[in-house]
């Protein structure tokens, strides 16, 4: 299931640790990609 769908439709079962890991692991690459 896509992350957006989890946030939009399954809000109460979100694991904060998993959200933090996604941000921590994917945000740096996203920032680089957006700059290029």
Query: Per-domain residue ranges for the chain?
Result: 3-35
pLDDT for the residue 15: 82
Q: Report the pLDDT value the prediction gives residue 12, as an integer from 0 to 100.
A: 74
The predicted model scores a pTM of: 0.51
Say if CB 22 and CB 3 are below 8 A apart: yes
Q: Is the Cα dihedral 33, 5, 1, 3 positive or negative?
A: positive
pLDDT digits (tens, 9 = 90+) for 1-36: 577 777 777 767 778 888 899 889 989 998 999 998
pLDDT attached to residue 1: 54
């Amino acid at each position: 299931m896509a992350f957006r769908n989890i946030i939009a439709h399954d809000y109460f079962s979100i694991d904060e640790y998993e959200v933090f890991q996604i941000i921590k692991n994917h945000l740096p690459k996203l920032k680089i990609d957006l700059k290029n």
